[in-house]
Every structure is written in C-alpha cells, then in structure tokens.
Amino acid sequence: MICFGGVCIPYTAVIPLLLMGVRWVLSKLHQYGLLPGFIADYMNLKQAAHDQNKSSTSSPAANAKPAAGEESRDASAQPNTVKALKSEEQFNALLRKDEKFVVKFTANWCGPCKKIHPFYKQKCTEYKAYDFLTIDVDDFDAIASKYSIAMMPTFLILKGDSVIGTCRGSSKPELESFLDSHLR
C-alpha cells in the first residue's frame, strides 16, 4: 500500500491510475491539436474527439430540440428515461428550471457505475416527476470539478444551483433510501 495522508492506494492500482492519467492528458493534448496523429491513432483518441466534435457542431435544427425534461410529462404516454448529458448548455438549462433533478456522475470505465445503472434506470421510471441524468466525468470535467466529484458513481439531487443531497457508491439500498428521502 502507498498512503498519502488518509488515502491508501494498493500497489496494484498505481499503474492503472497512472495510465488513466496519461490517457487523460493525451486526450486533452489531442483536443487542442498538440498531439501527433500516430499517437492519437494508437491511443484511439481520434474517434473520441470526432464524437465530441460531432455533438458540439451539430446543425441548428438538431440544437432546436428541447433540453432534457422540457418535453411534456404525460406519464401514461411516455415513460421517464435516464438522459446522458450531451452539452453544458443542456445542464445549465436544467439548473435554470429551478426544479429538483437527479444526476449520476459516471465514467465508461467504471465497473460499479455500470453495475448500478439498471437500478438507477428503474428508479427513474418510479420517480416520473423528476429528470434523471448521467454525466460522464471524462467528458464534462468542469461540471465534475464544480461539484467536487472524487469517486464514482456519485449521485446528486440538485435544485437550481444548490445540492440537495449526495450519495456515493453502488449500494442499491443506500441509493433507494437516498432517493426516497429526497424525492417523496
């Protein structure tokens, strides 16, 4: 174990953590055009950048879609679904609505995040009056930093710019209790 203050990391986790950090730095360098193409190809960074550019440079007609939660909430016609955050503008629109909504901070490499996601989707259908959102911390690091997200999954209930409650981890009973206490 390697310990820094109150945080201990097993030796077996050091190399994956370092590699994750290197990949993140390389993706940022590629995003700003400071990384040679052959390295971006080797690290499979071009596809991620293409997907990110595609979502940010979509046509005005595509941007005319209502932000998450703005569609009608006729529960009998359309079940509530978990929405993946597509842009910071979408997130800011939810903040301006000044209504409670649930956010799951996640990452595509996070096993516990994937494990709890079916349960999160189930809870979304139970609480039809609220928007349920997932935010990938690798894609939206500014939002994750704003809310000091240090572990995944982390669930927040927000109203406007205020954090109403926080739940960390992939425990189904804890998440269920958290949602019941803040949304009922």
Three-state SS string over the chain comes to CEEECCEEECHHHHHHHHHHHHHHHHHHHHHCCCCCHHHHHHCCHHHHHHHHHHHHCCCHHHHCCCCCCCCCCCCCCCCCCEEECCCHHHHHHHHHCCCEEEEEEECCCCHHHHHHHHHHHHHHHHCCCCEEEEEECCCCHHHHHHCCCCCCCEEEEEECCEEEEEEECCCHHHHHHHHHHHHC
Note whether residue 143 is domain-resident: yes
Cβ atoms 105, 152 nearer than 8 A:
yes
Over residues 26-31, the mean pLDDT reads 82
41 shares a domain with 122: no
Listed range (53-57, 153-157, 168-172) with the worst mean pLDDT: 53-57
Please tell me the predicted confidence (pLDDT) of residue 75: 41
Note whether residue 93 is domain-resident: yes
CATH number of the domain where residue 178 is located: 3.40.30.10
Note whether residue 3 is domain-resident: no
Q: How confident is the model at residue 16 (pLDDT cuts 50, 70, 90)?
A: confident
Position 98 pLDDT exceeds 90: no
107 shares a domain with 45: no
Number of domains in the chain: 2
83 shares a domain with 52: no
Q: So which residues are the catalytic ones?
A: 110, 113
Note whether residue 173 is domain-resident: yes
Note whether residue 130 is domain-resident: yes
pLDDT tens for 31-60 read 777 888 788 777 777 554 444 444 444 444
Closest to 104 (Cα-Cα) out of 82, 79, 128: 82
Over residues 95-103, the mean pLDDT reads 91
Note whether residue 65 is domain-resident: no
How would you classify the pairing of strands 162-168 and 2-4? unpaired
Average pLDDT, the chain: 80
117 shares a domain with 168: yes
Please tell me the predicted confidence (pLDDT) of residue 79: 62
120 shares a domain with 154: yes
Please tell me the predicted confidence (pLDDT) of residue 133: 94
Note whether residue 172 is domain-resident: yes
Domain span holding position 40: 8-56
112 shares a domain with 171: yes
124 shares a domain with 45: no
pLDDT tens for 105-132 read 999 889 899 999 999 999 999 999 999 9
107 shares a domain with 22: no
β-pair partners for 113: none
d(CA 138, CA 105): 10
Note whether residue 67 is domain-resident: no
Over residues 16-39, the mean pLDDT reads 82
